[in-house]
Structure 1
């Protein structure tokens, strides 16, 4: 089984704040599987750490108001190209992320308010027919 996984869940320090979201439960689940780490935000050319972003009115906006939609869309496109390079049986993505959030992400107000919408990469994967799970499922 080949699993595409948000790199932060594997312990890679690629989050906006420079940290990671290492998940012992996910690492245990992945023990006997082929794992492909991915971070669309790094593929977008974003550093770690970086200013936080949220999606508002279909635009990716930094807290200071800067629109970085084009860069994030480019990162998602690169991530989708990587995913297409080999058969992927399952995708596990970080919950609530503007790129990787499955079914939920922040609403763009930077007030920790969630909306029932997926992040950019999660949405692209779902539309392409991939089986996608949230890190919250583990």
Structure 2
């Protein structure tokens, strides 16, 4: 079983209120029962749509360790929403025995190697989101929509 960012499977859960339809193979994995779609931000209690958020002061590992926080573009602290969502996704991963997660790159929750720098200027920096960090710490293989084909085998049922 895989964990997949729900927005990558087409679910309308992004902060903008939409989803992505660019990844039919990821949607197929969900439809065939080989993957479980999750949206950490929604699981953490965030509405759809919602204000954009970025991590300030580090990355997802730093948020988990209390050294960084997650803020909206209006300066509202949403750290607890992101931590709650990350813990919920970890629970889903454990419940389904997932070993790999395909997550949305650049997201403050799901980014696996790139996130935005917290200035809302569009600047990208190396780092991961809160959910990616908690899953890595739990021993899952975490990748993004940009490199999953290197790590995920597609098996027809």
Q: TM-score, normalised by structure 1?
A: 0.92
Deviation sequence 1:42-79 (CA, Å, 0-9, x none):
00111110000000021100000011111211111111
Where 1:98 maps in the other structure, the secondary structure is: coil
Q: How does 1:1-138 map to 2 (within 5 A)?
A: 2-24=1-23, 26-27=25-26, 30=29, 34-57=34-57, 58-137=68-147, 138=149
Note the aligned Cα RMSD (angstroms).
1.6
CA contact (8 A) 1:101 1:122 kept: yes
CA contact (8 A) 1:8 1:20 kept: yes
CA contact (8 A) 2:56 2:118 kept: yes
CA contact (8 A) 1:99 1:121 kept: yes
Runs of 4+ displaced beyond 4 Å: none
Structure 1 position 110, deviation (Å): 0.3
Distance in 2 (CA, whole Å) between partners of 1:70 and 1:33 is 31
Structure 1 position 33, deviation (Å): 5.8
Distance in 2 (CA, whole Å) between partners of 1:86 and 1:25 is 22
Structure 1 position 86, deviation (Å): 2.1
Distance in 2 (CA, whole Å) between partners of 1:89 and 1:21 is 23
Q: TM-score, normalised by structure 2?
A: 0.81
Seen in structure 2, the aligned counterparts of structure 1 residues 25 and 11 have a Cα distance that, compared at 3 Å, is closer
Distance in 2 (CA, whole Å) between partners of 1:28 and 1:71 is 26
Distance in 2 (CA, whole Å) between partners of 1:55 and 1:125 is 17
Structure 1 position 28, deviation (Å): 7.1
CA contact (8 A) 1:26 1:135 kept: no
